[in-house]
Every structure is written in structure tokens, then in C-alpha cells.
Structure 1
Amino acid sequence: MSLTILRSSAVGLQEQLQSGGLTSVQLVGIFLDQISAHNGDGMRLNALISTLDRTLALETAKRLDDERANGKLRSPLHGIPIVIKDCIVTGPELRMPTTVGSHVFSKQKPTGNAPLVNQLLESGLIIIGKGNMTEFSGLKSDNTPIGWSAVGGQVGALESFMSTLGRLCSASTDTGNTCGGSSSGPATAVAAGFAPLGIGTETSGSLVYPASCCGLYGMKLTPRSTPTEGVFKLSNTFDALGVLGRTPEDLALLAEIIFNEKRRESLGLQGLASMLKDATWSELCIGMVAPTWGVAFALDKWSGSDVLGAKVEYPLDILDGTALRCGDDNLVTAAYAEFPKRVEEFISNFEKNAALKGLADLIRWNEEHPDALPAPYTTQTELIRSHDSKMTEDRHKEVCNELQRLVVEGELGNMMKNTGLDIMLAPSDSTMVSYAACAGWPIATVPLSRTESNGQPFGLFALARENREDLLLKFMQVFERDFPNNVAATEPFRR
């Protein structure tokens, strides 16, 4: 039974919990055993930086089981375990630190939970672990590997995803396989059966890319549609939370829970999940760029005849995402300029420390502590670039407004508006994520196939306009129905 549970969707597990065939206590025990077997040992995935204490986890599960027995269900995900990225602050009661993958934050003491964490707990989810990540969400140094942090080490990319047996390959090996990042840990954790659900963050690709690399469904939500206080961000302009899971319905239920009150009210009584039940291709208008659009090396994915898709307007001709610029500035330089303020905000979630007030202190701390800059990753070039940014607030506003205009009122936005396109599809390692970030639009990924050269999973990115997660989920739902996921992990579930 445990193998079936480890590979089940959250909705499937909830059905078993409701029928009495399974308890949350049993569920938590099975997931904790899987974590024990393959996080630090076994396949050594390093997907989690910290795990909920077993006693506390089982006590929490028992309390939720008792509530269920008494007719109280907090949400459709009552009693379901979840992994969250370790850039989301958890308070002392959960006994898991918040590190952002860095030693400097591992030494700090949070004063309480991020509002997002409280929403999850109030909805009856069990935060079973905190996911490893690319340190500082990828803004530490040019030579920081995807999925690596000083605290958590390298998140593993399972070669079994690629139909090979039982070996582990990190993002630094010569196979070209990668776990994706920066939300590497939550994606790998869900794929490996540590939990059925995950939450990560994304500036430009940080959630949907690892979801694609791990053969999952994933969706970056519209920026500012969820509470992000107590979440480590590069930018308020471009960053958003995202959801990870095995099915579109799982994503819909989780998104509804973490939306802020304003966004939930806009959905009305129907909710996202109920919109999926009768979804059909006929209610969607879909466009797709060429398969090599925005991808440096893409031909090995598309040279076969087995890559299938929906009926689309294809190929659409738009500029690559690297063309989104305002003079000499782009999304990256705008994020650099904004980042110091975001660091100060994040530090305010911890007990006061006179030696850590801002980005300059963080850089200095790293320089003074060798374990923060272990060989061969001894630099912090991106932190320094951000600290040294000379972009003024007026220029930052100008750049962000222009980047948004280039998408919303530019070639892509006009094409979607004039042709009535609901969804734009692109390869899952393309620069479509830059369009999503600059416009402030949601973006999702669906699992599709594997590369011919090394078996790396890949999928399709799906882009919709602001607050149209409903369209993305409908697309994912009909896609899942007609193109079942055949790239899900197998090796962590062998006995």
C-alpha cells in the first residue's frame, strides 16, 4: 500500500482519508519513512533542508484525524502533507529553521510564521519539510550551481527520471541532467514521494523549470495574488509563489488555499477546482511558438515524431524573451536594484541582530565565515552587483513599466488580444518565463516527454494573462486527460 500512497495525488489521498481506508497518522509515517530512506541516505537527494520532527508530525496528524472523525474538515486538503521552499519563514513552533540555503540565515531566529504558513496550517495541511534551493534563490554568484546551497548541498537529479536505473546524478555532472531551480528541493521532493504537494517561488522560471525537469505539473501564480510577507524575494515586481503537484486538480485546490482574500473573492463560490470538471479543448484558443523558440539547444527534443500536442495556431512568430529590454536595462538589472530592500524586509522576520541589518552585512558575514563560501563556490558576485547597483527608484519604475508594456501592449500581448488567444505554449526551457515575469502574468508547465540525448524530462510552458489561472488549469486538465504523464519518477519507489 505504501508505494501506491507515495505516488498518489493529493486528491486521491484525500479520497482514501475520507473513506476511512487511511489516516493522516499513517500517511505522515509513510512519507517520513520515504524521506528518511532517500533524502540524506539511499539516493541522497538532498531535497529537504529540514524535516518536521516525527513526534510533532504524528501529533499534528492525530489532531487532524480527530477533527475529521468529529466532522470537521478545514479544507479539501485537510490532513495532507506538503513541502515548502526554505525561503518561507516558519516560526519556533514548527522547529524547522528558515535558511534560504545560507548559513547566515540558519543562525537567525524567526519571530513567527509567514502569513502563507498560517494559511496552510489553518487549512489543515501538514508542513512535513522545507525544500532545499539554489542559495538566495539564485542571486548569490555566477558560479552557484542550480539546486545547490551551502546549507543543503546539491539537490539530486534522478537519472531514473530518464529511464535509467538507480543512479544519482547531480546538476554538475557531464550528463547534462538537472533538477532545475531555484525551487529545486520542493520539486524533487514531490517527484520522489516525500509529499504530494509543494510550494516554491519564482522570479523568472524558478518554479516551472524544476517542475518540468521533475516531470510534474507546476504553476507560478499571478504576482501579488498571494501573501508574500515573510517570503525571501528578489523583487516585489516580478516574484510570485507557485504550486507543485502530480495533477492539475491538486494545483487548483492548493492555489485556492494560498490566494489572498481579494483573489479568492474574485473567484466567487465556484472556485478553481470545480471549473475543471467539464473542461474541454473546444473552450480554449491556444497558440504555440516554434519548438526551438527561445531555446539555445532544443533540436534533440523535437527531432522525433512522438511529440504530440493540442490543436494550436502554430508557429507564432514573436521576439525571443531576451529582447525584453529598456535601454541597457532588463529584468535582471531591475531585480538587482530592488533586491537590497527585499533583503531588509526579510531580515525583519527574525529577532533583531545588530550585525545583520541589510545586504552589506550579509555580504560581510559571508566573507568572514568560510563555511558560507566553500570551495569551489567561493564568490558572491551577484550579491555584490546588487549591492553596487546605481539604479534610482525613478529609473527602476521606468524600466519595470517599459518591460510590462513590451509584453502587454507589444507583439505578444497584441497577438493574444487580436486573435483571442487564451493560452500561449512554448518549450519548457525557453525564455517564455521572461514574458511572464515582465508582464506579471501566471505561467504553468505540463510534463510532455524526455530528451533523446540523456532522457531529461521536459514539457510545455503555458502562459495566460493576469489572474487567468483558471485558463491555465483548464488547459492542464484536458492535457492530462489526453496526454497522460509518462515521465514521472520510478526509482525512489522501488523496494
Structure 2
Amino acid sequence: MKLDLPKITASELQRLLSDGKITSLDLVRQYHDQILKHNDRLKAMISISPLPHLEKIAAKLDDERRRGVVRGGMHGIPFVVKDAMDTSSEFQLESTNGGWAFVGSQPRETATVVRMAVDAGLILMGKANLSQYGNWKASGMSGGWSARGGQTQSAYVRGGVVDDGIYGHSNPSGSSTGSAVAISAGFAPLSIGADFNGSLTNPATRAALFTIRTTPGIVSEHRGFPFSKNRDSVGPMAKTTDDLVKLLNVIVDLSHPEVPDQGYNTSFSRDWKDISFATIDPHHWHLPEAVQKPQPGALDQIIRETLAAYKKIASLAKRVVGPVDLISDETLDESMDDVLTTIKNDFSTLFEAYTGGLNSPKVKTLAGLINFNKQHREIELPDCSPKQDKLIQSLEDANSLTDAEYDRLDVKATVSAADDAIDKMLREHGVDVIIGPADSRLPDVVALASKLCALSVN
């Protein structure tokens, strides 16, 4: 059976598998062929699993199914994972986070989230390209670009990325870029990415997908490339909310106190009339011209369609209020600067802890990484992305804060976005959800709030 890979969902595939109309062996062959056919242009995948390896895993899972052993609702379904997640040698894939310094590094452990997925019967098709080091290499770096993977292209944009800003309308956004493009291009029906401030929600929105930036900690970040000490989030992407929840339930830590005992599909409401919403003003909440150059009619269309979505939701929901005043630009700027100060304080130490889990690291310290990039300037610092100022600033500011200074900045930023913004709006207006354009600074607010999650819908 020939499948329409860009359209078919994981749940539809599972029904075909259960009915015996297709096998996982068929799936990996079709998805692998799709990757080889289109990835040279899209550059969504940075490492592709060898077909014989995939066929061996798929055949084993098919045999289990024939014997009546089905590991769960995702048994035999292909997925991809952001190249920020380590995989050990058994997967026959590199783990580089987009940098040449990590080629051949051989992680000793596989990231917990990947291990949980494959133990549940999912099949890893490969690693997805990304904004290098989670967009913590250089200011002004294009979304979805890495030295090793090149510039990821949207499956929906003719002509590819042009010079319209680092998150311009032609850009697939980042940093979990390949995780989104891979699904929209039919390389897999599911993916896993990671997020600090929009790295899941923005690429998913531009690829017409669903994602959730989970509350930090409910999905393990173990053996993921580090970005921050307490604000990193790992989450799924999918074409439907049903698939999104099913994959989330596979990778979530069910022992976490904030996770429902039986997972998320047992507790969410399917009735719009149960939910109240607050909206934010799309005339104000959009990306600044510094990162997204204006295109004729584009912003007007975004505003118009956002307001139309609000109107549609108002006809379905229990109640809709707004627009509400969530947080001032000045407070948001100040709080983000505070958090970035803590990240620069932590990054060098987190980096060394990460490289300590590699069998054959070319670099072990942040200083070593910076020097490697200088020594390999032609591939790591090309004309299209010649800077590494974020790495340099992180080295200069490493461990520069006292514990008291660190706590003050961290708590102040969290309170500004959680207690004084999101929680305040939910409480004052008696609503359950705050909605607004993903292509805005709303993901910054969620990142600062830390304890909360964000859902991106297509």
C-alpha cells in the first residue's frame, strides 16, 4: 500500500497496522525513501538511520505484533528526534547538536526520552536538524541553520529561505526546526523537540502542526544538550491533538506530581463549553521588524486571521474575554535579560557536565569548543553565519553570579511572568487558557513563567 506520507497520521497508521493492511517494515521503507528523495533540499534531517538497521527493528516489531505482543498505541510507528538528544552506538546515528565538534563523540547513554519512545515500540528514523546548540551559538543566526546540517527549508515555502530576517516569513523558525519540517514533509508522522522560548511552538506553527511546550521536568531532559539549568522543556510534535497526547503519554514521567495518574488523555475535556479563554491583542503581539522584515499584507493577514480565530472560539467556548494586558514590553525585556544572565552564568558548567558523558569528545570545555570553531572556521563560521558571540559571552560570564544574585534574578523573572502576568490574568478574568499568536513574544512569557506549558495549534 502506497501511503500519502505528508498527510497520514500516526493513529491512522496504527489502525492499518492493527488490521494487517500494512507492516512496520513497509512503513520504514516508505519513510526512508521519502527522506532520501527530499532531504537534500529541505535539510530537515541531519542524520538518517541506515535502512538495514530500520528494517531489522521493524521486522522485530512486526513479529511481536503477529504473536499478539503490542507494546502500546505507538507500536511500530516511525518518529524523528531533534539532534539535541543523545543516542548511543546501537542507533548508528551521530549526536552533534548541529556542530562539527561533536561528530564521532559517541555518547555513553541514550537520552531518556528517546529510550522511552523506542521501548514503547516507536522506530527512530533519524535525527532532525536544528538551530545549532539550540540557538545558543551566535546572535543573528538564521532559524534552522547549523554548521553541520545547513539551512533547514520549509516544506511549504517555494524558493526557500530568503533574506527577510532571521525569523522572516520564509524561515521555518527554530530551534526545533527539523522536528517540524520532517513531519510536514512526510519523513515521519511524529517527532520530539526541545524548547526554551518558542523552539517548539514557533516551528510547529509554521509547519501547520500541533505541539506542547511541557512544564519543565515532566519530560526527562537527561542526556539532552543543555541550555539552561531549570527552564529547558522537551515535547512532542504531531499532525493531530490525538497523536500529540498519545506521544506525550509515552515520554512523560508518570511519577511526576503534576502529571495525571493515568496520563493526559484521561483528564482533558473534549467540550469547548467547558473552557473559558482570554485573548491578547495581535496588533501588538507579533514579531518585531528586527527579526521579521515586513512583507506586503503579511501582518494584516495574520491579525485578520487571528481575530477570526478568536471569533470562532467565542462561538464555541464557555466564555472569551479580551484583549487582556498580559505583561508590558519593558517588564518582558528586563525579565528576559535577567534569565539570559543566569543562562550565561550556567552554560559553561552545564556544557562540561554534558561532554563528560561522551566516550570520544573532541572538546571537553566551552573554551575548547570556541577554539575548535576558530580552527575550523571554514565549516563552523562560514560567511553566512560567522559569529559565536553567545558562546564567548557564556565563557566570559561563567559562574559570575553569587547564589544570592542568581536566585534574585531567577525568582524575579519567574514572578514577573507567572504570578504577575499569566496567573494574574487567569485569576482576575476567571479563565482557563490565554491564547495569542505563536509568532510573537508570547513564548518568551511562557519561558519566563517556567512552571507553565504552552500548546501550539495549526
Alignment partner of 1:247 is 2:240: yes
- In structure 1, list runs of 5 or more residues that go unmatched: 448-495
Q: Classify the secondary structure of the residue corresponding to 1:112.
A: coil
Q: Which residue of 1 aligns with 2:146?
A: 149
Alignment partner of 1:302 is 2:310: no
Cα 1:105–1:328 change in 2 (3 A) is closer
Q: Which residue of 1 aligns with 2:94?
A: 97
Give the TM-score, by structure 1 length: 0.83
- In structure 2, list runs of 5 or more residues that go unmatched: 290-298, 315-319
Q: Classify the secondary structure of the residue corresponding to 2:4.
A: helix
Q: Which residue of 1 aligns with 2:31?
A: 31
- The 8 Å contact of residues 306 and 437 in structure 2, kept in 1 or not, is answered as no
Structure 1 CA distance, aligned partners of 2:61 and 2:52?
Answer: 14
Cα 1:73–1:322 change in 2 (3 A) is farther
- What pairs up with 1:23-62 in 2 under 5 angstroms? 23-40=23-40, 44-62=41-59
Alignment partner of 1:318 is 2:318: no
Q: Classify the secondary structure of the residue corresponding to 2:455.
A: strand
Q: Give 1:305 shift.
A: 9.4
Cα 1:177–1:254 change in 2 (3 A) is same
- What pairs up with 1:11-410 in 2 under 5 angstroms? 11-40=11-40, 44-158=41-155, 161=156, 167-170=158-161, 172=163, 176-263=169-256, 266-269=259-262, 271-275=263-267, 279-295=270-286, 296=288, 298-303=299-304, 307-309=308-310, 310-311=313-314, 312-320=320-328, 323-324=331-332, 329-351=337-359, 353=361, 356-370=363-377, 371-389=379-397, 390-410=400-420
Structure 2 CA distance, aligned partners of 1:169 and 1:143?
Answer: 18
- The 8 Å contact of residues 321 and 435 in structure 1, kept in 2 or not, is answered as no
Q: Classify the secondary structure of the residue corresponding to 1:84.
A: strand
Q: Classify the secondary structure of the residue corresponding to 1:409.
A: helix
- The 8 Å contact of residues 219 and 442 in structure 1, kept in 2 or not, is answered as yes
Structure 2 CA distance, aligned partners of 1:172 and 1:34?
Answer: 28
Q: Which residue of 2 aligns with 1:463?
A: none
- The 8 Å contact of residues 218 and 258 in structure 2, kept in 1 or not, is answered as no
Cα 1:225–1:88 change in 2 (3 A) is same
Q: Classify the secondary structure of the residue corresponding to 1:11.
A: helix
Structure 1 CA distance, aligned partners of 2:305 and 2:17?
Answer: 42
- The 8 Å contact of residues 278 and 429 in structure 2, kept in 1 or not, is answered as no
- The 8 Å contact of residues 44 and 153 in structure 2, kept in 1 or not, is answered as yes
Q: Give 1:74 shift.
A: 1.1
Structure 2 CA distance, aligned partners of 1:86 and 1:134?
Answer: 10
Q: Give 1:264 shift.
A: 8.1
Q: How many residues align?
A: 435
One-letter code aligned to 2:16:
Q
Q: Classify the secondary structure of the residue corresponding to 1:286.
A: strand
| Cα displacement string for residues 8-32 of structure 1 (whole angstroms, at most 9, x for unaligned residues) | 1111111111111111011111111
- The 8 Å contact of residues 218 and 259 in structure 2, kept in 1 or not, is answered as no
- The 8 Å contact of residues 288 and 315 in structure 1, kept in 2 or not, is answered as yes
Cα 1:419–1:89 change in 2 (3 A) is same
Q: Give 1:364 shift.
A: 1.2
- The 8 Å contact of residues 336 and 413 in structure 2, kept in 1 or not, is answered as no
Cα 1:104–1:261 change in 2 (3 A) is same
Structure 2 CA distance, aligned partners of 1:146 and 1:438?
Answer: 21
Q: Give 1:275 shift.
A: 4.0
Q: Give 1:228 shift.
A: 0.8
Q: Which residue of 1 aligns with 2:457?
A: 446
Structure 1 CA distance, aligned partners of 2:50 and 2:149?
Answer: 18
Structure 2 CA distance, aligned partners of 1:305 and 1:207?
Answer: 20
| Cα displacement string for residues 156-182 of structure 1 (whole angstroms, at most 9, x for unaligned residues) | 123xx36xxxx3312546883111101
Q: Give 1:376 shift.
A: 3.2
Give the TM-score, by structure 2 length: 0.90
Alignment partner of 1:419 is 2:429: yes
Cα 1:150–1:21 change in 2 (3 A) is same
| Cα displacement string for residues 99-143 of structure 1 (whole angstroms, at most 9, x for unaligned residues) | 100000114122231222211111100010100001111011113
Structure 1 CA distance, aligned partners of 2:146 and 2:106?
Answer: 19
- The 8 Å contact of residues 293 and 427 in structure 1, kept in 2 or not, is answered as no
Cα 1:235–1:16 change in 2 (3 A) is same
- The 8 Å contact of residues 227 and 343 in structure 2, kept in 1 or not, is answered as yes
Structure 1 CA distance, aligned partners of 2:415 and 2:327?
Answer: 14
| Cα displacement string for residues 13-56 of structure 1 (whole angstroms, at most 9, x for unaligned residues) | 1111111111101111111111011001xxx1000001111001
Structure 1 CA distance, aligned partners of 2:322 and 2:336?
Answer: 32
Structure 2 CA distance, aligned partners of 1:22 and 1:410?
Answer: 52
